[in-house]
Amino acid sequence: MQDKLEKEVRLLKTYAAVATLACVVLVFSAFTAQGRRQKFEEIDVERINVVERDGKLKVVISNRERFPDLILDGKASGARQGNTSAGLLFYNEKGDESGALLHSGFWKDGKAEAGAGFYLDQFNQDQIVGVNYIESGGTRYAGLSVWDRPETVSTADFLKRREAIGKMPEGAEKAEAQKKLREEASPAQRVFVGKSRDKNAGVFLYDARGRTRIRMQVAADGTPRLEFLDETGRVTHSLPGGK
């Protein structure tokens, strides 16, 4: 009986030693593999975070469901409302978004609702350059856009002020606050080069308030035209047939 117990104890010790050694080897292998370049033929992943050595987020590749929350001033500012896109996001040294590559597409009432775009953001602001395609309700446009963004009101400030105004009681004071915010923080499109929803291909230039001042386009039927407009939208000169 004593001999049997001693034999079982020796077996348990041997098993414990082997198991411990195996764990050590696995842990060591895991640590040494961290610094190696890994090669995969194919992977399925819902989201990839690219970070600096200090953990600061630099790039995110994500599907729609795991798309990151909006980050402003280095802090998460809530989920994106109505987001239907998957894509790629870039982040600056401050921790804020600085650009994106996005795409989406689905059917709605028998018609395509789709879009794709590459956007570059102004520091502390939203996009100022974009190459995009939008399709909705049977019409579409595609091209390059350039926007002016305010220098004094950041996107974070705009969202905070908009939220505060939204909590104000209805009335003249709230309406005046909304008007002031629009004047101070609204972007203005300055350039569009591409194809418009009415199938005209052209170059459209706008003033600092977003008003069209020059239209150079070729219509869907092939007719070319160059127009100059005043601040009220009235055509002052045009080619051919200048006014």
199 neighbors 217 (Cβ within 8 angstroms):
no
Between CA 130 and CA 196 the distance in angstroms is 15
Q: Distances in Å between the alpha carbon of 137 and those of 68, 107, 140, 168, 208?
A: 28, 10, 8, 35, 30
Q: 111-121 and 86-91 as β-strands: parallel, antiparallel, unpaired? A: unpaired
Domain ranges of the chain: 1-38, 40-137, 156-184, 187-243
pLDDT tens profile 210-237: 999 999 999 999 999 999 999 999 999 9
pLDDT tens profile 100-147: 999 988 888 888 889 999 999 998 888 999 999 999 988 999 999 999
